[in-house]
Structure 1
């Protein structure tokens, strides 16, 4: 049963971090490479972010800014680092989920920070944590 939940979580994270409102036009490998060229995060940070939406050292501004770049290029985030509710609502509808994105991820909008790229990282981390908690409930 654990593997089912782990697989479900991985699929949901992939969709959330790799999809936009029109999923056809996004080249994830290119986005990943471009963001890593601009913000060369450690391999450990990249693996952790790819697996569960977190980075091991939240004081690592390069890894936070990688997450910011990635979130914005995949349209998960708006230009100011806030969650893109249009994208999240699209994803919720794609999976026939009844609650709206705001109802599901509304608590994630409270995470704000003036530290470089922290707001973006905290928003994406909150979404990943919310998905994980939903997966654990089912």
Structure 2
């Protein structure tokens, strides 16, 4: 489901925005970096969480999450720079194989956000 251009973006640094909403609809955005992400063989996206406590609370109430990411280094629809909007669900883990995989890459991670994309759309 994830296109090659998405993986090209991950080769360069850029900001990742993670949008959640509480059960009452209160929106929250957290950020991380492209270089911290791990895409599993099943195309789940692992994101390190050192803080992200409000993101975790929101996803426990409402697991629907939207993520944007991009880079200026990859050609987009109309010139330099491209980005993606991903929608899907999130869960936080603090143990297990996925957590261990993330902890090896990002020792600062207290938990791992496991994002399961349902849709990926190029926005730029």
TM-score, normalization: structure 1? 0.25
- Structure with greater strand share of residues: 2
TM-score, normalization: structure 2? 0.26
- Structure with greater helix share of residues: 1
